[in-house]
A and B are shown apart, each in its own frame.
Chain A
Amino acid sequence: MAEQVTTTGGQVIGYRRENCDPPYLHPDYAATRTRAPKRPLILLPHTLSEVTGPVFGHEEIGPLDHDLTRGHEGEPLGERIVLHGSVLDGDGRPVRNTLVELWQANAAGRYRHVVDRHPAPLDPNFTGAGRCLTDDEGRYRFITVKPGAYPWRNHDNAWRAAHIHLSLFGPAFATRLVTQMYFPGDPLFFQDPIFNAVRDPRDRELLIARFDLAGTVPEWALAYRFDIVLRGRDATPAEE
């Protein structure tokens, strides 16, 4: 079974390194102080190991996995929303059939998780997890409820701006992304160090969904659109 690897198979086209990511160390976010590496990262020119990554199939996704308001006895409390958008690469091309995972607090700002001790009610009809694969145009769509803000102990009277966590794989190890989506006009932005760890206000805008009247379902749900852009690809094989 063992196939001989040929050296010509080693030629790869890498992924571009431009990004809008926050630094590892952002002292206002207290947990970074003991978790951010102190040594500089070492540049790893892409090889086959970085331009490949796990592939997920439709058979792994249940028909209701994108709908966080279903699967329980009743409907969750809160403001029902459609969260949808496109997953694109850095050149604006759709990223097809890629796994999008989502998790969030309920409408009261409480996670269904043992370490969440915020004294806000759990909702028996809301777990707060969903996933889907993007379609042939790179689109994804979730039905959920708008999460509440919640306090945390990062600093005095600290509150997280309302957000939804999103995890994406894209086509390669190099394109792996975990991010958070925020809602437009949130009054808590100014004091949220996780949001503000992205230093450039222009880049922070990339984390904010926009209200999408066209995506609403009349008499049923408001909609927010959040496009996600993964890294683009080099035009030519990596320099040798």
Chain B
Amino acid sequence: MRLPTPSQTVGPFFNIGMPGQHAPELVAPDAPGAIEIVGTVVDGKGDPIADALIEVWQANRAGRYAHPEDLGLADGFRGFGRTETDADGGFRFVTIKPGPVAHPLGPLQAPHLEVSVFARGLLKRLATRMYFPDEEQANAADPVLSSVETARRATLVAREADGRLRWDVRLQGDGETVFFDV
């Protein structure tokens, strides 16, 4: 067994090194079923974080991943996006809603995005999930959401606002987003 290389912060200059994969649009904005997700990343004082990197990973409409251990790239949907926050801590993705995804215990997982947050001051990434507000039943049955205390689950569910989905990320303090040990 070999010890894994330790994580270190991305620092403030990461966008020098990740320009080619800058991909806030997982599908074209005029693609059928395209949805826009917007949000703000804030710190423990409630101040916007203008130098965060957000990555999303998700299944396709059928709940399958473009990965050799699942379906592969059958429908051409890669399912990966990333973007940096702007001066006001804001971010935006355009994507499709994934289908429900298999779970080892049997029942399907509610549609969700896997999310990584990187920033100066984060010595390792924060992993979380974003769920969809129009999936109340599926969310209630989701084994991962159910592992979170009820009062904090709302931090993982986007809300509808002006035809878009809004999902804010609070790294610390009141209303702190639920982060997972992945």
Contacts and interface: CB of A to CB of B under 8 A. Distances in A.
Contacts, number: 277
A35 B122 contact: yes
A12 B104 contact: yes
Contact of B101 (A42, A49, A131, A207): A49
A214 interface: no
Contacts of A31: 120-121
A77 interface: no
B75 interface: yes
B105 interface: yes
Contacts of A48: 59, 65, 69-70, 101-103
A35 B49 contact: yes
Interface string A159-187: 00001010100000110111110000000
Nearest to B121: A31
A113 B16 contact: yes
Interface in B16-45: 16-21, 43-45
A34 B173 CA distance: 9
B69 A34 contact: no
A198 B8 CA distance: 9
A219 interface: no
Given A49-B112, A103-B13, A55 B64 contact: no
A182 to B, nearest CB: 9
Nearest to B82: A54
Nearest to B61: A2
B17 to A, nearest CB: 3
B145 to A, nearest CB: 10
B176 A20 contact: no
User: Range of interface residues on chain A?
Assistant: 35 or more
A129 B19 contact: yes
Contacts of A55: 66-68, 73, 78
Given A53-B80, A111-B13, A229-B4, 9 more contacts: A10-B103, A24-B122, A34-B45, A91-B2, A178-B7, A178-B124, A178-B125, A180-B11, A232-B4
26 contacts: A5-B64, A17-B181, A22-B8, A32-B121, A35-B43, A35-B49, A35-B119, A42-B178, A47-B101, A48-B102, A48-B103, A49-B112, A90-B3, A101-B21, A103-B17, A104-B17, A111-B16, A129-B17, A165-B10, A173-B116, A173-B127, A177-B5, A180-B9, A194-B8, A197-B8, A229-B5
Interface of B: 1-21, 43-45, 47, 49, 51, 55, 57, 59, 61-71, 73, 75, 78-80, 99-109, 112, 114, 116, 118-127, 129, 144, 147-148, 152, 171-173, 176-182
Interface of A: 1-3, 5-7, 9-12, 17-24, 26, 29, 31-39, 41-55, 60, 88, 90-92, 101-105, 111-113, 115-116, 127-131, 163, 165, 167, 173-174, 176-180, 194-195, 197-198, 203-204, 206-207, 228-232, 237-238, 240
